[in-house]
Amino acid sequence: MDNNRWWRGAVIYQIYPRSFLDTDGDGVGDLPGILDRLDYVASLGVDAIWISPFFKSPMADFGYDIADYRAVDPLFGTLEDFDRVLAKAHGLGLRVMIDQVLSHTSIEHDWFTESRASRDNPKHDWYVWADAQPDGTPPNNWLSIFGGVAWRWEPRRGQYFLHNFLASQPDLNFHNPAVQAATLDNVKFWLDRGVDGLRLDAINSCFHDTKLRDNPPKPVELRFGRGFSADNPYAFQYHWYNNTQPENLRFLEDLRALLDRYPGATSLGEISSEDSLATMAEYVGEQRLHMGYSFELLTDDRSAAYIRTTVETLEAKMPHGWPCWAISNHDVVRAVSRWGNGTDDAVLAKQLVALVSSLRGSVCLYQGEELGLTEAEIGFDDLQDPYGIAFWPNFKGRDGCRTPMPWTDGPNGGFSDEKPWLPVSDAHRAISVKAQDADADSVLNGARAFLKWRKQQPALLHGSIAFLDAPEPILCFVRRDAAQSMLVAFNLSDAQVEWTLPEHGAASPIEAPGTTAGAIRDGRLVLPARGVVFATF
């Protein structure tokens, strides 16, 4: 494979550094902790790591509020620590991708400190400022995803500033060319340091409508969303004007031109819009982003029909682009809890690794997914997420998927010698890395075996995808490239199912380690609970 296109078909392992491993005893994970566990990550058979933000930040949104794009926050270590992580990862054959949060900064960033000071300073228009309406109310009806209006009054300027997220995360004004240039220069800093790629947070939020038009209301029956609850007023609007503006496309082209100066450097955009699949198709391509992913498979709908429709819709809209699929990350309930019934978590966890890794595209696996971690129960007194605190108890926030990695069954799961920033679930300690390492049939060893087997299957890495008309709960498709044709089938239920294959009935099943294997008998597909069939023809 072309070394510069390593990302096509790659498995990218997301590390949430706060919760990976604490080495200095402050209860928060750090870069030396990542360094210490890179051999473990390499043992999974993944191709790259994506490290969530470790930059200087007041941590109002746990690093997604950046105060200095070029500095490592002391909570996580030093720039030299990052260089050591980069060097060791490369020595292990792992690429390194870092989060870049471009659309907004922390309120403590020097740019904002200067911008808020007056209406005539050199950075007065680096953020989105607007006058109040005649009655003193905000400029329009835009809302923050974290609840409430998206405007905050600033008495120093006598104006409102825009924040699509927390009020301490002011939005940059990307209509200003100087902001774009400074942003690209910060990206260049990390590319020069040797990173292999960027995961671009909320990349469709960089530009806003300069006319500040009101977002139209959304009918009650359509008030659902990805990553936020239906009772969040954010769901009450069509978000046509506060993000996903056409000017963003030119900026993506400039970003791609910068990346193309670094052979092998890649980009993965997080996209959440009113039609995320259409936006992804628009954003991903030879002159724009290398890959994109959205929240479509991060929802509660686990039906075969929904998965098929999602993939087929994107395939139709983006025939020449490259998707990336994820079913878990640091923002949503863990997939085993979201898609399971609480009785067959280990079998389901193995199936989910195989499922997300068998779709056409690249894959993001979130730390702990290889262990089959469930969503942790967090009491209100232990909550850290401002989103969950604001919406408790209807929505408990994101802390339940962010609890520390359980390395052992000991105190704090071997994550830290001191009290962790979030409690370690007892249920997680029981399925720790140490315990699963010693169990040949564990989710961990199953994930390792499957991901290493996948590397030898060209159809799964690079092939096309075409779905068969299978009944629920069977998801069935064909992956095909010049070297291999493969039938793939998943039973998404916890009961055995059978189905007569309308075609490819003579396909020959092959062993896919780490899965509960089904069979093909006289042209009939036989799938045990959570069963999987891979067959060549």
Is it true that the peptide bond before 323 is cis, omega within 30 degrees of 0? no
In a domain, 373, yes or no: no
Strand 129-130 relative to strand 519-521: parallel, antiparallel, unpaired? unpaired
Q: Is residue 336 part of a domain?
A: no
pTM above 0.85, yes or no: yes
Does the residue 228 lie in any domain? Answer: no
Active-site residue 131, yes or no? no
Q: Which of 270, 282, 375, 399 is an active site residue? A: 270
- Cβ neighbour number for residue 200 with a 10 Å cutoff: 25
Give the C-alpha separation, 476 to 501, whole Å.
10
Residue-level pLDDT at 2: 66
Instruction: Identify the helix (H) or strand (E) that includes residue 319.
Output: none
pLDDT of residue 143: 97
351 in Cβ contact with 387 (< 8 Å):
no
CB 166 within 8 A of CB 61: yes
CA 223/CA 232 separation, integer angstroms: 9
Instruction: Indicate the burial class of 342 (C-beta count within 10 angstroms; 0-12, 13-18, 19 or more).
Output: exposed
Sign of the C-alpha dihedral computed for residues 291, 295, 296 and 299 taken in this order: positive
3-class secondary-structure state, position 99: strand
Residue 464 in contact with residue 516, Cβ under 8 Å? no
Per-residue pLDDT tens listing for the chain (537 residues) = 468 999 999 999 999 999 999 999 999 999 999 999 999 999 999 999 999 999 999 999 999 999 999 999 999 999 999 999 999 999 999 999 999 999 999 999 999 999 999 999 999 999 999 999 999 999 999 999 998 999 999 999 999 999 999 999 999 999 999 999 999 999 999 999 999 999 999 999 999 999 999 999 999 988 876 556 667 899 999 999 999 999 999 999 999 999 999 999 999 999 999 999 999 999 999 999 999 999 999 999 999 999 999 999 999 999 999 999 999 999 999 999 999 988 889 999 999 999 999 999 999 999 999 999 999 999 999 999 999 999 999 889 999 999 999 999 999 999 999 999 999 999 999 999 999 999 999 999 999 999 999 999 999 999 999 999 999 999 999 999 999 999 999 999 999 999 999 988 889 999 999 999 999 999 999 999 999 999 999
d(CA 120, CA 152): 19
Q: What is the pLDDT of residue 506?
A: 87
- Give pLDDT, residue 103: 98
Beta carbons of 4 and 12 less than 8 angstroms apart: no
Residue 239 falls within a domain, yes or no? no
CATH number reported for the structural domain that contains residue 48 in this entry: 3.30.750.90
Could you tell me if residue 108 is inside a domain?
A: no
- What is the rounded distance in angstroms from the CA atom of residue 45 to the CA atom of residue 92? 11
Give the pLDDT of residue 1.
47
DSSP H or E stretch at residue 475:
strand 474-481
Flag whether 485 is in a domain: yes
Residue 519: CATH number of its domain: 2.60.40.1180
Domain end point (choices 101, 125, 152): 101
Query: Per the domain annotation, does 458 fall within a domain?
Result: no
HSE at residue 348, side-chain half, CA atoms within 13 A, is 21
Query: Is the torsion defined by CA of 85, 87, 93, 97 positive or negative?
Result: positive
Residue where a domain stops, chosen among 36, 68, 101: 101
Phi, psi of 477 (to 5 degrees): -155, 165
8 A C-beta contact, residue 209 and residue 175 = no
Is 437 among the catalytic positions? no
Token pair for 178: 């100087």
Tell me which of 48, 80, 101 is where a domain ends: 101
Q: Which residues of 72-101 are buried (b: 16+ CB within 10 A; e: fewer)?
A: bbebbbeeebbebbbebbeeeebbbbbbbb
Q: Domain for residue 158, yes or no?
A: no
Catalytically annotated residue among 201, 345, 375, 399: 201
Number of domains forming the structure of the chain: 2
Whole-angstrom distance, CA of residue 449 vs CA of residue 253 = 39
- Using CA atoms, how far apart are residues 450 and 514, in angstroms rounded to an integer? 5
What is the domain extent for residue 91?
A: 1-101
Instruction: Write the single-letter amino acid at 274.
Output: E
Q: Give the single-character DSSP code of 65.
A: S
Cβ(72)–Cβ(80) under 8 Å?
no
Longest dimension (CA), the chain: 78
Rounded to an integer, what distance in angstroms lies between the CA atom of residue 254 and that of residue 194?
20
| CB-count burial class (<10 Å; 0-12, 13-18, 19+) for 438 | exposed
Show Cβ contacts of residue 381 under 8 Å, excluding neighbours closer than 6 positions. none
Q: Is the dihedral of CA 16, 21, 26, 30 positive or negative?
A: negative
